[in-house]
Amino acid sequence: MSAITNQLPQLQPPCAAPATNQAAVINTDPTARGLFDLHPAVEAPENELLCNRFLSRHGSMLIVGNTGIGKSSLVMQMMIRWALGEGCFGINPARPLKSLLVQGENDEQDLAEMRDGVVGSLGLTTEQRATVNGSVVVCHEVERSSEEFVDEVLERLIVIHQPDLVWIDPVFQYLGGDSNQQEDVSEFRARNGPANSNPNLRAYDAAGSAEFGNWPRAMLSLQSTNDRSIYKLVAAKRGGRLGWRMADGTTPSFTKLLTHSHQPGVIYWQEAEMAANPPNPAQPANQPPINAADQQQQPPVNIPNNGLNDIDRAVLAAVPMNGSVEKKVLITQVNRLSCIGENAIGKALKRLIPGRLEEVKVPRPKTRQAVHLRRVQPQPQQPQQPANPPDQLCQPG
């Protein structure tokens, strides 16, 4: 589990006075303002870190996933892309961002291997490498935790480097308590930022106390799938702000399908569709490859797309333009990619069948036929015949 935050106390740079272990005193007196004294985001654009305020200054984000799934390499890729001001899997920085990574899980060689996989896959120039080197700083810390970790490591590094983002990987290592005990988790996160209630979607994928689901302002969940080569990146909290879309280009999505690089020994994440369709070599190295899944999928010309709600469009987008898909598979896919309930998907299918979709039976050995769905194909238009064909010319006898 990796946490990213920028809520830690912003201390003044140390003066020439002797160093002391005394923690900074922070004013915690409660304050309240009138409702219309609150300022909209447009008046403080400098507080936006990830676009559409997916993450703002003084906010927190949690990246969760099973051990060994690749969270650390994903964090490395995000830090490098965001340092260059470039998006990473549809998560775009408001400006080039400086990151401080404090971690205790990977040794120096592991981190270098992750770095080289990302840098090599992106084809960064010498100038871009220099930018990344000045905007991504790393500290390996394995000895201190809890208050000692915050006071002696985080606060001092923040004063020195003044980062936009602070990454803690893994957060459990520095807890200094029981991750299943709410009071221990609450005490740790209280030093890192305010709690945020109303979690939704996959917000409770984080193991341990529910405080880990309540605290972060945003949450990303990296999950495995039935296909060992495919993983899901789920925007579990505030995902709607990312603007992710399904294949039709309009239906909201909260999931990206990712895969590891197919090059042996290269540690690099890429979108699953991108792996199947490698980027054009003529494309500039510092530009992200075009993802075919991001291109709008057009419906058949004789089937207008008007009159459909978001759920109908989500279901229709999951049906291939040619061929068919098993009905059960389609329902599961739409449910996972867009977090739409199966009952709502079933109602959408009733609206789409017949008309835009039709059911077909596919034989299976030693069991019942499978029910597949396919698009209703446009009927070829017959050329119109003149009502009164002209008389044929008479040939001379």
Please determine, looking at this structure, whether the domain spanning 310-375 carries the CATH number 3.40.1130: no
- Domain residue ranges of the chain, discontinuous segments joined by +: 2-12+42-276, 310-375
| E strands in 89-170 | 99-103, 136-140, 165-169
Give pLDDT tens digits for 122-140: 999 999 999 999 999 999 9
Q: 3-class DSSP state for residue 273?
A: helix
Structural fold of domain 2-12+42-276: Rossmann fold (3.40.50)
DSSP annotation string for 321-379: SSS-EEHHHHHHHHHHHH---HHHHHHHHHHHTTTTEEEEEE--TTSPPEEEEEEPPPP
pLDDT at residue 355, as a whole number = 81
| pLDDT string in tens for the chain (397-residue length) | 566 655 443 333 333 333 333 334 455 678 898 988 887 876 678 889 999 889 998 888 999 888 889 999 999 999 999 999 999 999 999 999 999 999 988 999 999 999 999 999 999 999 999 999 999 999 999 888 888 888 898 899 999 999 999 999 888 788 765 444 444 444 444 454 443 333 333 333 444 444 455 667 888 999 888 778 889 899 888 888 998 987 777 778 888 889 999 888 899 999 986 554 454 444 444 444 433 333 333 333 333 445 677 778 778 877 887 788 888 888 887 776 666 778 888 888 888 888 888 888 888 888 888 888 888 876 666 666 655 555 554 455 4
Q: 3-class DSSP state for residue 2?
A: strand
Give pLDDT tens digits for 333-345: 777 666 677 888 8
pLDDT at residue 353, as a whole number = 86
pLDDT at residue 297, as a whole number = 37
In the block, tokens 């996989």 appear at: 117
Peptide bond connecting 354 to the previous residue in cis, omega within 30 degrees of 0: yes
Which residues lie below 8 Å from residue 167, measured CB to CB, with a gap of 6+?
Answer: 2, 3, 4, 75, 79, 99, 100, 101, 102, 103
Distance CA 311, CA 334 (A): 9
DSSP annotation string for 172-210: GGGT-S-TT-HHHHHHHHHTT--------TTGGGS-S-T
In the block, tokens 């294949």 appear at: 247
